[in-house]
């Protein structure tokens, strides 16, 4: 029986939508989260439940619909009702002064400026020419380094989104734009019958760095800079991929508009902000005269490095819209606006050598050693070359004179060589075949751009992260061995592998920073309790690439012991549930490495004895796949997993169309959302217990 009547559910769902969109605005636009992630997820879950119980309530404007849709075959073309024009550029003060003079002279001739009058602060903020002054009032804003987008709203509802394209025709990217939480799916009321919001989709540098780290860990292509990442994300034919990208949006203008516009550009942006459209209010300013324009430019140049996003200049627009109409357009650009670009953050220097760095997952990254060069306010001696393919694509060779750029004003990168200065007999870069840190073999899988060290647990460059993974709750669960202690153990060269954690003593740990006697005792107690872990947890703790918690558990159930798994051949691995050629190959390569086999032997020497898992039995859940998310009331997630396995079922870590049930506890998150979108049956803990008992 429904807990609410349809009218009550309708009212509650509308309230939830408004609340969630408000929190989206605080989080993605203002960078000022108003509630915790858990509280946000709880509101989202309530809305999902209401829409599931009353399907009539589900609409395209709901926050639950931002997960993306099935892939498109191609983008449709969109003809802009109002052209999306580009801007003229200024690269020096003389160009800005000339722009201001042209604007000033034209407005004097039109009668909008009376040079002999005083200069009230609100000059040209209204179309009343009697209040105009000698100096023109300009609206100043940052020139974001992203992708220009037009958003068409009808009756307040987002109906279409298009790229700039050639200014006349763009691409329909509505499905992708709908996944960006900073962009409202419905405007606040009262909204015009039609308004086309023009603005920039971009990516914060911090989000970009995290995205690239994730790309590297998956062995996928990394992006060169945030702009390319934003553009590439928006041009995905599969909007579900776009939904996973941390895109943001600021409006800076408008196209078609069914109502009379406000008097000034600043007023129009405030009007759009009142509708729920994000604008860059913190950095936008109104100033008077050319001197103030240059002052704004200099101010932004100073704070540029502190901004969360990339910019490549500032934009000046005449503020009064009646003055804009008088000034008009020339060719493909307006006469009333200009972009004042920052100097290119590039320089040339000598490429002295190419070293390689080993990342946390074993990724081998080539790094250019440069003759010191001053770029973008800092002296650069090293710059990233991304990967082997990028070096070959750019044709960068040892001994070249290269162009160096500070990508995003932070990470120096080599743009390419100056071929006219290339000396004779330059050498082409060759990727190393063994790890420079531990000597293990370096491999590159056929479908990956990244070469990796196969040293795994043995490699010092990967050791800290490997140890943190091993002691985590889902692995050996050594509570008390946190990041700070692991760092000290590795930095002091005390622990080289998981096995050596079991050689630590209370007296020894008590001498480490922030480790008193009680903390040391707790840590050693957790280590001792981990000497008899379930086999699945031990396999997971080894950190074998592509082997997650669920796969480790399946391997444990199938082979029953670590010795049998270590000796398994590919054909034996492939019969394990969800183990394909990629996973099987990763397992074989891991156990083929002598260092990894030595660590497994050392674990046994230290008394680590994995507990044989209970074999699967034919039960009521045979052949059924479950995903557990959130906090259960009575059972722990580990207990629920064991109960499902004993009844013959399988527990997976991710939701797919093959999932039979999602068990949702309190504060369930994205897995529940995905289950709803795929139509997977969602049950609670009580229902799970009934299924297990039956």
- The answer to whether residues 187 and 62 touch, using CB atoms and an 8 Å cutoff, is no
Percent of the chain that is helix, strand, coil (3-state, to 5): 40, 20, 40
Q: What is the residue whose two structure tokens read 């379930």?
A: 534
Helices (runs of H) and strands (runs of E) counted in the chain? 25, 26
Instruction: Quote the strand ranges of 157-270, DSSP E.
Output: 157-163, 169-171, 194-202, 248-257
What stretch of H or E contains 92?
Answer: none
Please tell me the distance from the alpha carbon of residue 341 to that of residue 338, in angstroms, as a whole number.
9
Distance CA 376, CA 408 (A): 10
Q: What is the DSSP annotation of 294-346?
A: HHHHHHHHHHGGGSSS-EEEEEEEESBHHHHHHH-EETTEETTEEEEEPPP-E
d(CA 628, CA 682): 10
H or E, element range at 50 = helix 37-53
| Residue 441 neighbours by CB distance under 10 Å | 14
Taking the CB of residue 514, how many other CB atoms lie within 10 A of it?
9
- Cα 186 to Cα 252: distance, rounded to the nearest angstrom: 19
Q: Do the Cβ atoms of 586 and 643 come closer than 8 Å?
A: no
Residue 252: name the closest of 237, 240, 269, 235 by CA: 269
Q: Which of 254, 201, 252, 200 is closest to 82 using CA atoms? A: 254
Nearest to 311 by CA among 184, 177, 140, 169: 140
Structure tokens at 69: 């849709």
The continuous run of DSSP H or E covering 132 comes out as none
Instruction: Please report the DSSP string for 372-386 in residue order.
Output: EEEETTEEEEEEE--
Decide if 318 contacts 337 (C-beta within 8 A): yes
The radius of gyration computed from the CA coordinates of the chain, to the nearest angstrom, equals: 30
From the list 63, 16, 60, the residue with the least C-alpha distance to 8 is: 16
Nearest to 352 by CA among 380, 327, 317: 380
- The residues annotated as belonging to the active site are 143
Distance CA 29, CA 184 (A): 11
In sequence order, the 6+-apart residues with CB closer than 8 A to the CB of 600 are: 542, 562, 566
Give the SS3 label for residue 143: strand
Q: What does 668-679 look like in DSSP terms, one character per residue?
A: --HHHHHHHHHT
CB–CB of 659/652 below 8 Å? yes
């Amino acid at each position: 029986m429904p807990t609410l009547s349809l009218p009550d559910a309708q009212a509650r769902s509308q309230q939830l939508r408004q609340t969630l969109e408000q929190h989206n605005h605080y989080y993605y636009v203002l960078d000022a989260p108003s509630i915790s992630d858990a509280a946000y997820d709880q509101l989202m879950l309530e809305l999902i439940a209401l829409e599931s119980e009353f399907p009539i309530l589900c609409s395209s404007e709901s926050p639950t619909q931002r997960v993306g849709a099935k892939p498109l075959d191609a983008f449709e073309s969109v003809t802009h009702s109002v052209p999306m024009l580009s801007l003229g550029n200024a690269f020096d003060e003389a160009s800005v002064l000339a722009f201001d003079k042209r604007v000033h002279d034209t407005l004097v001739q039109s009668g909008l400026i009376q040079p002999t009058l005083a200069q009230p602060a609100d000059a040209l903020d209204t179309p009343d020419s009697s209040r105009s002054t000698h100096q023109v009032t300009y609206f100043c804003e940052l020139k974001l380094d992203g992708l220009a987008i037009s958003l068409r709203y009808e009756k307040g509802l987002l109906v279409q989104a298009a790229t700039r394209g050639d200014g006349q025709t763009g691409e329909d990217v509505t499905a992708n734009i709908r996944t960006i939480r900073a962009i409202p799916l419905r405007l606040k009321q009262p909204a015009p019958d039609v308004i086309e919001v023009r603005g920039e989709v971009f990516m914060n540098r911090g989000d970009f760095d995290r995205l690239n780290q994730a790309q590297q860990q998956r062995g996928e292509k990394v992006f060169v800079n945030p702009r390319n990442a934003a553009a590439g994300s928006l041009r995905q034919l599969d909007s579900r991929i776009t939904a996973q990208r941390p895109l943001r949006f600021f409006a800076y203008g408008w196209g078609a508009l069914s109502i009379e516009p406000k008097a000034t550009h600043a007023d129009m942006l405030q009007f759009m902000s009142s509708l729920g459209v994000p604008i860059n209010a913190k950095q936008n300013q109104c100033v008077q005269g050319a001197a103030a324009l240059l002052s704004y430019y200099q101010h932004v140049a100073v704070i540029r490095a502190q901004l969360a996003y990339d910019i490549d200049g500032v934009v000046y627009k005449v503020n009064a819209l009646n003055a804009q109409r008088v000034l008009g357009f020339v060719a493909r650009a307006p006469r009333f606006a200009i972009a004042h670009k920052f100097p290119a953050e590039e320089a040339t220097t000598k490429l002295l050598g190419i070293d390689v760095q080993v990342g946390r997952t074993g990724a081998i990254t080539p790094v250019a050693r440069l003759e010191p060069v001053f770029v973008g306010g800092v002296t650069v001696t090293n710059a990233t070359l991304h990967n082997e393919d990028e070096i070959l694509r750019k044709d960068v060779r040892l001994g070249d004179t290269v162009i160096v750029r500070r990508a995003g004003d932070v990470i120096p990168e080599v743009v390419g060589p100056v071929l006219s200065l290339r000396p004779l007999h330059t050498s082409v870069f060759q990727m190393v075949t063994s790890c420079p840190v531990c000597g293990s073999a370096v491999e590159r899988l056929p479908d990956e751009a990244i070469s990796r060290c196969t040293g795994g647990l043995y490699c010092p460059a990967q050791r800290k992260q490997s140890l943190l993974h091993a002691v985590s709750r889902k692995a050996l669960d050594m509570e008390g061995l946190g990041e700070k202690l692991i760092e000290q153990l590795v930095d002091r060269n005390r622990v080289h592998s998981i096995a050596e954690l079991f050689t630590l003593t209370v007296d020894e740990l008590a001498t480490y920073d922030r480790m008193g006697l009680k903390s040391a005792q707790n840590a050693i107690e957790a280590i001792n309790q981990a000497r008899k872990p379930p086999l699945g947890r031990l396999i997971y703790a080894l950190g074998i690439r592509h082997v997650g918690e669920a796969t480790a558990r399946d391997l444990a159930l199938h082979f029953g012991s670590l010795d049998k798994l270590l000796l398994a051949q590919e054909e034996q691995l492939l019969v394990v549930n969800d183990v394909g050629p990629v996973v099987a190959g990763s397992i074989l390569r891991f156990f083929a490495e002598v260092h990894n086999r030595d660590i497994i032997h050392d674990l046994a020497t230290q008394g680590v004895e994995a507990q044989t898992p209970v074999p699967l039995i034919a039960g009521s859940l045979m052949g059924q796949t479950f995903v557990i998310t959130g906090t259960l009331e009575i059972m722990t997630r580990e207990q629920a997993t064991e109960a499902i396995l004993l009844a013959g079922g399988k527990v997976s870590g991710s939701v797919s169309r093959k999932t039979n049930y999602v068990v949702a506890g309190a504060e369930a998150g994205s897995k529940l959302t995905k289950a709803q979108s795929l139509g997977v049956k969602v049950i609670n803990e009580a229902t799970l217990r009934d299924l297990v008992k039956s």
